[in-house]
Amino acid sequence: MYITLRYITLLLCFHNCVCLGQKGKFLVPLKGEAGRDFFIDSYFDHDTMSSIRDVFCGKRTYDGHSGTDFCISGFKAMDKGVDVLAAANGRVVDIVDGNFDRSKQRNKHGRGNYVAILHEDGMITYYLHLKTKSICCSVGDSVVAAQKIAQVGSSGDSWNPHLHFEVKDMKRKSLDPFSGSCADDTSHYWISQPKLNTNLTIIESGFVPYIPQLDSLQEGHNVTDTFELKHDSLVCFWAYLNGLNFHDKLQTKWMKRRVTYTTNTYLWRNARCHEYYWSWIKMPSTKGVWHVEFSVNDVLLSTKKFYLK
């Protein structure tokens, strides 16, 4: 009986060791639901030249990108706190903290605040751009899969709050944990590979009395729905969107009593997961309630009103 049990134990151990060194080992390293609380923004770049190619043969990556970017809905969500989780059991081997964490554009500050975890099979996972002082583990700590280690931030080379998750093999070569038709390796490293959410949705929208800077929209300052003819010279509609694609037709119709005053049309030139769009008009001279209809590829996404006093 003892021998049989030991034999079973050895078999289990062998099986586990094989699993840890091979595929299907990582949990998605964020708390919440993919496509609701966090979104895949950029994949690993499989093109070794100056072009780009993601694992699915698309262009949802950027040149030389060596990890996966998971974005969250923005700075409000970051302030509330989105937990970063250990993707598998391991030991914390490196931590950097204390860097500015509200970066809104590309810069030369690299990883920012980060954690690195060495796993039992010798692979290392990196968790970059973390929120300052949110790291809740120390170098040398053993962590288990799904354990909170920090929160999402925007430190280092970051333009919005996101987690750059990177996997390095035993030779410290970065690899893509996803599988797809354009990857060298056909098996993914996820326990359950997260899906890209391409649903076109408005996360937030509003009006401001000026042509905005991206910074001001990201921080959500001065949003209003009431304007004064004698003070305000323009009205700007903005929307924060998920799921836009290259060459989508964005249209804003400005209406008074359902009569179109003017229409602004724009062809989109980007394909990141979350994007800010804005469109403005000189302040019309007719007071009252105005409606703004916003559509993408002729499908109405939102109707919003503002008041002109």
- Min dist CB 27 to Zn ion, Å, is 19
Smallest CA-to-CA distance from 274 within 188, 199, 183 is with 199
Q: How far is CA 62 from CA 44, 72, 77, in A?
A: 8, 18, 25
Contact criterion met (CB below 8 Å) for 238 and 218: no
Instruction: Identify the residue among 46, 53, 164, 274 touching Zn ion (CB under 5 A).
Output: 164
Residue 30: which of 135, 163, 158, 195 has the closest Cα?
A: 163
Pull the structure tokens for residue 139.
Answer: 């170098």
Site for Zn ion in 250-309 (CB under 5 A): none
Rounded to a whole number of angstroms, the minimum distance from the CB of residue 129 to Zn ion is 8
Residue 114 pairs with which residues in a beta bridge? 96
Stretch of 47-55, 149-157, 164-172, 263-271 contacting Zn ion, by CB under 5 A? 164-172
Beta carbon of residue 130, minimum distance to Zn ion (angstroms, whole number): 13
Q: Which stretch binds Zn ion (CB under 5 A): 30-38, 65-73, 136-144, 245-253?
A: 65-73
Residue nearest to Zn ion (CB): 164
Q: Kindly state the smallest distance separating residue 12's Cβ from Zn ion, in Å.
A: 37
CA distances from 217 to 212, 221, 233 (A): 7, 7, 19
From 25, 28, 55, 69, residue interacting with Zn ion (rule: CB under 5 A): 69
Measuring CA to CA, which residue among 65, 136, 67, 66 is closest to residue 95? 136
Q: How far is the CB of 174 from Zn ion (least distance, A)?
A: 11
Q: Are 87 and 125 in contact (CB under 8 A)?
A: yes
Nearest residue (CB) to Zn ion, 154 versus 251: 154
CA distance 198 to 304: 23
> Which range of residues in 28-36, 159-167, 173-181, 245-253 is near Zn ion by CB under 5 A?
159-167
**Is residue 101 a contact point for Zn ion (CB under 5 A)?**
no
Q: Under rule CB under 5 A, how many of the chain's residues touch Zn ion?
A: 3
Stretch of 46-54, 162-170, 281-289, 300-308 lying at the interface with Zn ion (CB under 5 A)? 162-170
Binding interface with Zn ion (CB under 5 A): 67, 69, 164
